[in-house]
Structure 1
């Protein structure tokens, strides 16, 4: 398992964002390392945890629970075939492009060590937005990505900061004792909401927005 690339984006004016600034950093490109990754701070105040990466809409992105975003090269390859276009590392706005790591099968709360020092913890999966759709330029993209079997990629918090670079090894150093994966939580939050109460066994590690959705649903409808 390895890190293929570290990807960062600059803030650029775009027409396809609802960010108050009118800018987006979704267009991420691989950079030479080492790149520092650390906990950025509270959601709504802090940006992302990857040095040099612009987070332009703090209402929905950035903060400690969403310090970084990982996507598997294997899933980019599947999308390349389906879309009929090249998708270089960073094409889905991911900070970390991995190979050999089961990103969507990772458990919420699972921890990865990348390189010598960095330890990240899985908090959830990406919920696609208008900016993502506009950036890809594919008709019906938000729905298509949401419903895809390939999976959403993983949101991550920083447990131990560190510097990383392309080629660093990735290892799974902890797996919690439940069965809630990134893919399952994504389905629960989008297409199969009756699963949301079940995901609360992972509440300790879950990204705050997804946790709020699960708790609200469970309070209203009860257990699945």
Structure 2
């Protein structure tokens, strides 16, 4: 497997499904991606704001592994970085196997703490009909969500394509990811 790295970065200042690619994004501790609609200490996703606007934002920065795009391509989907609304597209790291509270050090200064799995909704089928069943699978063991992970910003820093990613477990315990 390749050394874990950033493949692409994206942000969007409006609530849209996909995000625009950028040359660099700024991670702001406690907030998320500067200029992104989902940045903030409190929840920013519209459905969650309607339910309880005071809840903490556990979905500040969204990461997806580019290997998912390769897998989806074999099923006839052409997915590019930013298309599924992620801020950081990675390569060479099994994001879905990380434990809750794992730290991701990206580039020189940015640090993200993993909070859980992205729970894709029906909007994903509006983007590409039939895609939802490829990123959410029901198995005998339960539901498998493949649409990336959610994180919060621990340390500020600039992130750009090519930046290395280092994984660090805080406690040594592996707490399986759940949807957030």
Cα distance, 1:143 vs structure 2:
4.6
Aligned counterpart, 1:133? 125
Aligned counterpart, 2:26? 36
Cα distance, 1:150 vs structure 2:
7.0
Cα distance, 1:40 vs structure 2:
5.2
* Secondary structure of residue in 2 paired with 1:65: coil
Counterpart pick for 2:7 among 4, 7, 31: 4
In structure 2, distance between residues paired with 1:117 and 1:64? 21
- Unaligned runs of 5+ residues in structure 2 are 39-43, 50-54, 139-143
Sort the Cα spacing of 1:28 and 1:63 in 2 relative to 1 into closer, same or farther, 3 A: farther
With a CA cutoff of 8 Å and minimum separation of 6, indicate the structure with the bigger relative contact order.
2
* Secondary structure of residue in 2 paired with 1:79: helix
Superposed, which structure 2 residues align to 1:177-196 within 5 Å? 177-182=172-177, 185-186=178-179
Report whether the alignment pairs 1:72 with 2:60: no
* Greater C-alpha Rg: 1
Query: Considering only aligned residues, what root-mean-square deviation do their CA atoms show, in Å?
Result: 2.4
Sort the Cα spacing of 1:10 and 1:26 in 2 relative to 1 into closer, same or farther, 3 A: farther
| Per-residue deviation, residues 137-171 of structure 1 (Å, max 9, x unmatched) | x13x4454221767231100111111111111100
Higher helix share: 1
In structure 1, distance between residues paired with 2:145 and 2:122? 20
Sort the Cα spacing of 1:158 and 1:127 in 2 relative to 1 into closer, same or farther, 3 A: same
Aligned counterpart, 2:48? 60
Counterpart pick for 1:162 among 157, 163, 174: 157
In structure 2, distance between residues paired with 1:98 and 1:129? 22
Indicate if the aligned counterparts of 1:119 and 1:160 stay in contact, CA closer than 8 A: yes
Counterpart pick for 1:90 among 75, 82, 86: 82
Indicate if the aligned counterparts of 2:119 and 2:145 stay in contact, CA closer than 8 A: no
In structure 2, distance between residues paired with 1:57 and 1:97? 20
